[in-house]
Structure 1
Amino acid sequence: MYTAVILEDEIPALDLLEVLVSRHESFTISGTFTNPAEALEQLPELQPDIIFLDVEMPQMNGLELALRIREGSEQAHIVFTTGHTHYAVKAFDVQALDYIVKPVIPKAIERVYNRLARQQPSRSMPERAAAATPVPAPTVTGFGRLEVRNADHQLLQFPTRISEELFAYLLCHPNREADKWKLSELLWPDMDGERVLRNLHTAIYRVKRVMEAGGLPMRIKKTSEGYTLDTGEFVYDVMQYQQTGRLLTGERLDLEQLEKLFSLYRGPLFQGKPYVWKISLEENYRLIYEKLSIRLISEAISGGALQAAEDRFYACLLAEPQNEEFYRQLLQLFPAEDQNRRMQQMYSRLREEHT
């Protein structure tokens, strides 16, 4: 797998190139830029294998920029993109890997890959060997606090409030196209036109950077009308709750799966975040948690495992301390003559936990 960076000052051209490169199975995009100065600043950290570079940009000529890139990223191969062929000779003066005349087509991306593979033929072998070695996995949680942790369990921070909310929205709509105009309206309701699309593109880039820093095995793919969070085989708590329907309605309960779902819920969806769009989702997931909790508690009571039922109640009250249904169910668990004392004990236990 080769990492690619795209530098193109025109948003439509950038979007098209991003789609074509990301669709190629041997490329992953580590950064996209419309500003040459920002690209120069970030390239030493990104260390891409290949840079797709527009020749004609108002801030800085692409050929001049290529020379500056060579100073700090000597290992990176450069592919020029332009609408004019007369730059070709100058392009190869800076040892460019290839020269693509717009509009870019998939065949051109495949040609670039073949040239790159010939120069780095053994690149893919170490990656396959490394993948076979078990390593700790990164995690994402949406119930309770939104948290993204790398394999070392370090908490990662989003650079802006907007980028964090964008990531949260994509988590709630995995493997589905999120329309760019809907995203723009959600995140910047008072902005319109080309400016809002530029802001969205920047926010997407920032989210990708956090995902890459955390080693998350997910990708954000550009589509014709927006973006898709491709989760691959990676799963997280919110996604697992989206698949609970048959478990809760089926006559035959898979208690092991229900127990796992029960343990994943640590509080309301993105607790403390004022996202208007999450309100209905938050309530839906709360009801799912309530239903599966009551099913598990009922199973424990009917089986005579009263202590297990009480422990589950305690976990429920930690996650949803204001849920009245849990308290009603709790009263049914204790004998009438012992309710007051046992409720006092439960209250003391909860109070100690929260203080």
Structure 2
Amino acid sequence: MKVILVDDEPLALKYLERQLLKLDTMSIDVIGTYTNPFEGRKEILARDVDIVFLDISLPELNGIELAEQLLEQKPHLCIVFVTGYHEYAVTAFELNAVDYIVKPVQIDRVAKTMERLRSRIASRPEEVMESNRNIRMTMFRQVMIEQPNEQGQFALLHWRTTRAQEIFIYLLQHRGQLVRKSALIDMLWPEFDMDKAYPQLYTAIYHIRKTLEPYDTRFQITNTTEGYVLNIEGVQLDIEEWENWFMSNPSVSAESIEGHIEMMKLYTGDYLQEHDYWWAEGERQRLKELWLSVSLSMAEWYVDQERIDEAILCYFSIQRQHPLEEKAYFSLMKIYALQDNPAQVHRQFSLLCQVLEDEMGEEPSPYIVKWYDEWSNGIQVTNMK
């Protein structure tokens, strides 16, 4: 295993190197030691390296920030943080979830760390997933990803921290766009001083890179001075597939109806429904409105084609998703009037009155009340339009 050490303390470097070389059964080759983090970064990126030991408290460049810069270029690089913090400080830094050792470096701790990394390196070829097939990823209801070696099988991504998960999903929502580091800090660590908030951010990005490592180049997080850009390749998002279909097929027709039906199956729940992120609400509402528009168009097409049972099911679905949508109740009232089913007409009007009163303290729109009164009085009002 080829190892590089980076620490601004020369004595600490030599001590760690000696401890590593004591593990003579592990075939460890220390190919470089650096006190300058910028020089270390240059050499690590230029050379064939398996493992890097990084001191957290490097001058000019935070060790965690350096780590995520390295992982941007070398996602499979194994990084071990070396810290002078006591255990409580490591936990507060959220580093308990990544590889770290505490100074003074103990040989037994180094041995356990290297054994774990050796196993990880040995299994790496099996962990790298196939890259010759697009995989699918869901954002309706919750974020899940298809396993490339198990087509059709979806799994949750496993996150070290909830903040790492939220940052990834936020980057995913803004994929292809620059997300400023300051915006992420304001969103997740508003109470922190900047000198404490940035290490938290770098740690979270580090977690994200490690979580995405098995997916190889499908997810690329680019680190700029101002922020991060997430680009995806070979990943089909359900929300993109869903929206692109309806943008390409804006009207319902005999030719498009089957495609509409299949695409609507992708809408398994609202956008990020299982995640209570305030910043997702705008996109959630936009997609809900698109779903409603498509559903109403499909229901009206079914009525025009005299496929009444399918129209009724469509309106029921609208009522479940958008219980305040008057058009669904009114359309059902007119359908049941045509079918000479007065009980269902009364029921739909009653349901509409109840939900509007409970949720908004309002009554149905005047045109609906007028239609209902005329129908109740026996006036012919069966025009579906």
TM-score by length of 2: 0.55
Give the equivalent residue in structure 1 for 2:75.
28
Aligned to 1:306: 308
The answer to whether the aligner puts 1:191 opposite 2:192 as a matched pair is yes
TM-aligned CA deviation for residue 293 of structure 1: 1.4
Q: Does residue 1:341 correspond to 2:340, yes or no? A: no
Counterpart of 1:222?
222
Residue of 294, 297, 308 corresponding to 1:295 = 297
**What displacement does 1:242 show?**
5.4
Sort the Cα spacing of 1:233 and 1:297 in 2 relative to 1 into closer, same or farther, 3 A: farther
Alignment match, 1:169: 170
**CA separation in 2, counterparts of 1:324 and 1:69?**
63
Question: In the alignment, is residue 235 of structure 1 matched against residue 282 of structure 2?
Answer: no
> For residues 306 and 49 of structure 2, what CA distance do their matches in structure 1 show?
57
Q: Map of 1:132-281 to 2, 5 A cutoff?
A: 140-147=137-144, 150=147, 151=150, 152-211=153-212, 218-224=218-224, 225-241=226-242, 243=244, 246-247=247-248, 254-271=256-273, 273-281=275-283
Instruction: Tell me the amino acid that sits aligned with residue 28 of structure 1.
Output: P
Structure 2 distance, partners of 1:206, 1:14, is 11
Residues 159-215 of structure 1 deviation map (CA, whole Å, 9 limit, x = unaligned): 4332332233123122322221111111222223132122122223334444457x5
The alignment yields a C-alpha RMSD, in angstroms, of 4.7
**In structure 2, what residue type is equivalent to 1:232?**
E
- 1:271 Cα offset (Å): 2.2
3-state SS, counterpart of residue 341 of structure 2: helix
Amino acid at match of 1:171: L
Q: Tell me, what secondary structure is at the counterpart of 1:174?
A: coil
Q: CA deviation at 1:153?
A: 3.9
Name which of structure 1's ranges 249-258 and 300-309 shifts more when overlaid on structure 2.
249-258
Change (3 A) 1:204 1:344: farther
Hey, what's the Cα distance between the residues in 1 that align with 2:288 and 2:107? 56
Task: Measure how far apart 1:228 and its partner are.
Answer: 2.6
CA contact (8 A) 2:142 2:273 kept: yes
- Please state how far the C-alpha of 1:234 moved relative to its aligned partner: 0.8
Whether contact under 8 Å (1:15, 1:222) holds in the other structure is no
Larger mean CA deviation between 61-70 and 321-330 belongs to 61-70
Identity level (%): 17
Separation of aligned partners in 2, 1:170 and 1:156: 15
CA distance in 1, matches of 2:262, 2:49: 36
Quote the offset at 1:290 in angstroms: 1.0
Whole-Å separation in 2 of the counterparts to 1:343 and 1:175: 51
Q: Number of aligned pairs?
A: 282
- Give 3-state SS (helix, strand or coil) of 1:274's partner: coil
Ranges in structure 1 where 5+ consecutive residues have no aligned partner: 44-52, 78-119, 349-355
Asked whether the 8 Å contact 1:237–1:264 carries over to 2, the reply is yes
What is the TM-score normalised by the length of structure 1?
0.59
Name the CA shift for 1:264/1:159 in 2 (closer, same or farther; >3 Å): same
* Partners of 2:50 and 2:321 in 1: CA distance: 43
Partners in 1 of 2:322 and 2:82 — Cα distance? 47
Q: Alpha carbons of 1:231 and 1:317: their partners in 2 closer, same or farther (altered >3 Å)? A: farther
Question: Tell me, what secondary structure is at the counterpart of 1:283?
Answer: helix
Structure index of larger Rg = 2
CA distance in 2, matches of 1:303, 1:32: 63
* Conserved 8 A contact 1:159-1:206: yes
SS in 1 for 2:279: helix
Q: Determine if the alignment matches structure 1 residue 131 to structure 2 residue 133.
A: no
In the aligned structure 1, how far is the partner of 2:49 from the partner of 2:283? 35
C-alpha separation in 2, matches of 1:143 and 1:132: 24
Deviation of 1:13 after TM superposition, in Å, equals 6.0
CA offset at residue 7 of structure 1? 4.6
How far apart in 2 are the matches of 1:3 and 1:174? 30
In structure 2, how many angstroms separate the alpha carbons of the residues matched to 1:319 and 1:312?
11
* Structure 2 unmatched runs, 5+: 1-47, 352-385
User: Retained in 1: the 8 A contact 2:222–2:230?
Assistant: no
Distance 1:157 1:323 in 2: 38
Distance in structure 1 (CA, Å) of the matches to 2:281 and 2:269: 14
Alignment of 1:28-107 (within 5 A): 28-29=75-76, 34-35=81-82, 59=103, 69-74=113-118
Distance (whole Å) between structure 2 residues aligned to residue 326 and residue 141 of structure 1: 28
